[in-house]
Amino acid sequence: MMIQENAGVKTLALLRIVVFGCWLIIAVLFSPWSYSMLPVSIFESWGAYRVINLFPVELLEILLSEWFLLSLKGFLIVGCLFCMLGVRPFKPIAIFTVFLIVVYDFVVRGFNGFINHAQIGIFFSAIFIAFSPAVDSLSIHKKRLEKPGKDYSFPTVLTALTLTLAYSFIGIRRFMVGGLEILTNDALLTYLVRNTLNYSPYGFELSLTLIEYGWVILLLKVGFFVVTIAEVLSPFILFNNYLRYAWLIIMVPFHFMTLFTMNIFFWENLLLISVLFIDWENINYASLCPIIKVCRIK
């Protein structure tokens, strides 16, 4: 049996809150002023976003202007907040918010020069949720009971599949491009030092201390190999409980290790994991948070 195959209204609603909550945090931290100051000449669109090259450059200049990015930030914050609260009519609000997320992704990806692996799961999940009955529970509106015939599990399963495939593709590519050399040379050591010395909002320097011990470097290399194997096998955790437990034991600590040693933190993925791999259908929400009961969020 596939995990979340029988996911109900509560799980989908919780996924809605977590996904758009992540985008709300990202929108709040987004700096329109910083991006608007960058020259348009260094902007490079990625993938399907290259369609922008078919239009006059004036359109790109408008999209990267300060007033437009400020408007994008404001509307995105409001849209994500409405989606979190389950404001109805949900579908048009969610679709518009997803459109804003796409525009935000277009801007940030074009200047950063890479695809943010940490946001792949919440990016596609927002799209899946926008076309689903995600506000039938945990909404600020009056209680609406789960209705027969509605598919609450499909968006949740799609999100779980997308997240695990993203992990798997990263692991497969690491083996295909780098092979096992990362275990025999100093590539991992160099990567640790480089990310520690680069600017980061976290600012941890633990790796500079760890690399002084040879046995720690060996453990890091072996651990990285185990993590890569877990990444490659990620999609299979959807079908096997024991493999999923082992995957969680490996991957959750790994994300915290990357925070302290490389200043890389996939907090979005950790939140998704907490939703997708826990049976939230059988949890009494009111007993966990009396505020929910007071606000009549059912």
Number of domains into which the chain is organized: 1
Q: Which of 163, 166, 156, 212 is CA-nearest to residue 189?
A: 212
Output the pLDDT for position 234.
95
Is the separation of the CB atoms in 237 and 244 below 8 Å?
yes
> Which structure tokens are listed for 9?
């209204």
> DSSP letter at 40?
G
Note the pLDDT tens digit of each residue in 136-186.
888 887 666 556 667 788 899 999 999 999 999 999 988 888 767 777 777
89's CB contacts (< 8 A; 6+ apart) are none
Q: Which of 104, 107, 118 is CA-nearest to residue 166?
A: 118
> Which structure tokens are listed for 93?
């609000």
Is residue 286 domain-resident?
no
Output the pLDDT for position 22.
96
> DSSP letter at 8?
-
Is residue 17 domain-resident?
yes
Is residue 84 domain-resident?
yes
> Which structure tokens are listed for 159?
């999100």
Q: What is the pLDDT along the chain (298 residues), one digit of tens a residue?
A: 677 777 778 889 999 999 999 999 999 999 999 999 999 888 988 888 888 888 888 999 999 999 999 999 999 999 999 999 999 899 999 999 999 999 999 999 999 877 778 899 999 999 999 999 888 888 887 666 556 667 788 899 999 999 999 999 999 988 888 767 777 777 777 778 877 777 777 777 777 777 777 777 888 888 889 999 999 999 999 998 899 999 999 999 999 988 888 888 899 999 999 999 876 666 654 544 544 444 444 4
Is residue 150 domain-resident?
yes
Is residue 261 domain-resident?
no
Q: Which of 6, 1, 2 is CA-nearest to residue 280?
A: 6
Output the pLDDT for position 28.
96
Q: Which domain holds residue 163?
A: 1-168
DSSP calls for 102-121? HHHHHHHHHHH-S--GGGHH
Is the separation of the CB atoms in 134 and 90 below 8 Å?
yes
Place of tokens 């940490």: 118
Is the separation of the CB atoms in 171 and 234 below 8 Å?
yes
What is the value of pTM for the model shown?
0.86
What is the residue type of 115?
Answer: I
Note the pLDDT tens digit of each residue in 129-146.
999 988 888 888 766 655
CA–CA separation, 171 and 227 (whole Å): 8
Is residue 70 domain-resident?
yes
Is residue 187 domain-resident?
no
Is residue 183 domain-resident?
no
253-257 long-range contacts (CB < 8 A, ≥24 apart) are 254/223, 254/227, 257/223
